[in-house]
A = this chain, B = another copy of it.
Amino acid sequence: MSKSLDYENLNENVKECQYAVRGELYLRASELQKEGKKIIFTNVGNPHALGQKPLTFPRQVVALCQAPFLLDDPNVGLFFPADAIAKVKHYISLTSGGLGAYSDSRGLPGIRKEVAEFIERRDGYPSDPELIFLTGGASIGVMQILQSIIRGAHDGILVPVPQYPLYSATISLLGGSLVPYFLEETANWGLDIGNLRQSVAQARSQGITVRAMVIINPGNPTGQCLSEANLKEILNFCYQNNVVLLGDEVYQQNIYQDERPFISARKVLMDMGPPISKEVELVSFHTVSKGYWGECGQRGGYFEMTNISPRTVEEIYKISSIALSPNVPAQIFMGLMVNPPKPGDISYDQYNRESKGILESLRKRAHIMTDGFNSCRNVVCNFTEGAMYSFPQIRLPPKAIEAAKNAGKVPDVFYCLKLLEATGISTVPGSGFGQKEGVFHLRTTILPAEEDMPAIMDSFKKFNDEFMEQYEDYRGYSRM
């Protein structure tokens, strides 16, 4: 007799969900690493794992919050600047017993207030702390909101393709339907509203109620920043179709082209005025894991709800309560992120120098990487306007596709595995994010250290060009 937790008895939704970022490629890379091979993990946006140093000021504050007994030490000023000490006292006063006490399930009220003030400064419209929930990373928030929405397979969620697989995995897990809309690679991954309408029409013809739409802005894995005009079209679309917009804006500080700034969905919504600004339901997500912070391991995030009914907000509060509270240290990181040192503060110069240094280097790396990919045989790549990924298209020769088939692999998985074995570069195949039929990509982060980047791109080019030569030659040969 099969046992209760045997594979065949598991929840089918669990079995069906796929999460490529930590899928076959990652598992193989981990194995190779155990065997002693040097692996460059560019499968996940994890800056500190690739040598990015944490910003000093927030670490000073959170360190001292963890050890508040040091505040009584007369020498504390030797180690911690006065503005950090002041922040420590401030944040401890906002907790209900220091970092070891559960907070309210929505997060500490005082920090939610700081987030609201940040949003107001950013967008020029007031924000209500009661509609901001702190979470243990943005992913958890996305999962909670999708859980509230999805009732079954007839509920559809519009998701960009290519997409970050958090969305496809969570929708599978919750038993909903993913309704794909394709981003246009030839238009630098822009969103075409006609295409969106078509996706909705098709889903409806299959009996699916489209209830929500996800945008990832700046894009993951695609790196584009949505224009104001595009955001307006999207919000109009949501209004006309009674669809809640989920705005994944975790890369809002990762912007590498001055002519294409980040604009929040909420600002555009408010700019549009009534009735749209009062009607369209919007949930926006942010995190401490990205930007120049990169504090992934701390697991801090928030979501902000706009035009969501109070009764629904209460229900979301209730389900947030089941896991009691998001972790408190990361809440303080969030407070510090939205309320960093100001000009004139003791730590301002250092904070500013560090954060600018990281952003400028990321911008340079975005260029090195895009240029590197575009110098390779059969590889084309849009420039990374934002976020931390490069998503080159790999034009695989037919014989490579055939070889993949013979090896029992999806073609881009085949390519990425060969790349991994040859160079130690651990990427994610485009199929993990979705792509048009017969078109292949890979995703890599732009996070390896700037000084390592040229060697990595050389190593990639050497592998790629040899790979192409092998499979193109082979094709040539077989033609004879």
Contact = CB atoms under 8 A, between A and B. Distances in A.
Interface string A59-100: 110111011011001010011000000000000000111111
Interface in A291-336: 293-299, 307-309, 311-312, 315, 318-319, 321-330
A211 B11 CA distance: 12
A9 to B, nearest CB: 7
A324 B309 contact: no
B11 A150 contact: yes
A19 interface: yes
A365 B402 CA distance: 72
B327 A17 contact: no
A11 B97 contact: no
B102 A44 contact: yes
Interface string A112-124: 0000000000000
Given A9-B211, A242-B1, A56 B69 contact: yes
A187 interface: no
Contacts of A293: 100
Contacts of A15: 315
A244 B21 contact: no
Interface in A147-169: 147-151, 166, 169
A315 B56 contact: no
B139 A323 contact: yes
Interface in A1-32: 1, 3-7, 9-12, 14-15, 17-19, 21-22, 30
Contacts of A340: none
A411 B328 CA distance: 35
Nearest to A76: B79
A328 B244 CA distance: 33
A49 interface: yes
A143 interface: yes
Contact of A296 (B69, B101, B143, B329): B101
Contacts of A166: 322
A139 B324 contact: yes
Kindly state the interface size class of chain A when it binds its partner. 35 or more
A358 to B, nearest CB: 12
Contacts of A151: 10-12
A54 interface: yes
A299 B136 contact: yes
A319 B60 CA distance: 34
A241 to B, nearest CB: 9
Contact of A14 (B5, B96, B319): B319
B143 A97 contact: no
Contacts of A307: 3
Given A11-B149, A11-B151, A318-B17, A102 B49 contact: yes
A179 interface: no
Given A5-B281, A14-B147, A309-B6, A100 B298 contact: yes
A281 B5 CA distance: 7
Contacts of A11: 147-151
Closest 5 CB pairs of A and B: A297-B328, A63-B67, A48-B97, A48-B100, A49-B97
Given A5-B149, A22-B324, 9 more contacts: A5-B308, A10-B149, A14-B147, A14-B319, A17-B322, A41-B96, A50-B97, A298-B329, A329-B329
22 contacts: A3-B281, A5-B281, A5-B312, A7-B311, A10-B315, A19-B318, A21-B321, A44-B324, A46-B96, A47-B100, A48-B98, A54-B99, A63-B64, A100-B298, A101-B296, A102-B296, A102-B297, A147-B173, A169-B319, A297-B328, A297-B329, A327-B330
Interface of A: 1, 3-7, 9-12, 14-15, 17-19, 21-22, 30, 41, 44, 46-52, 54, 56, 59-60, 62-64, 66-67, 69-70, 73, 75, 78-79, 95-105, 136-137, 139-140, 143, 147-151, 166, 169-170, 173, 211-212, 242-244, 279, 281, 289, 293-299, 307-309, 311-312, 315, 318-319, 321-330
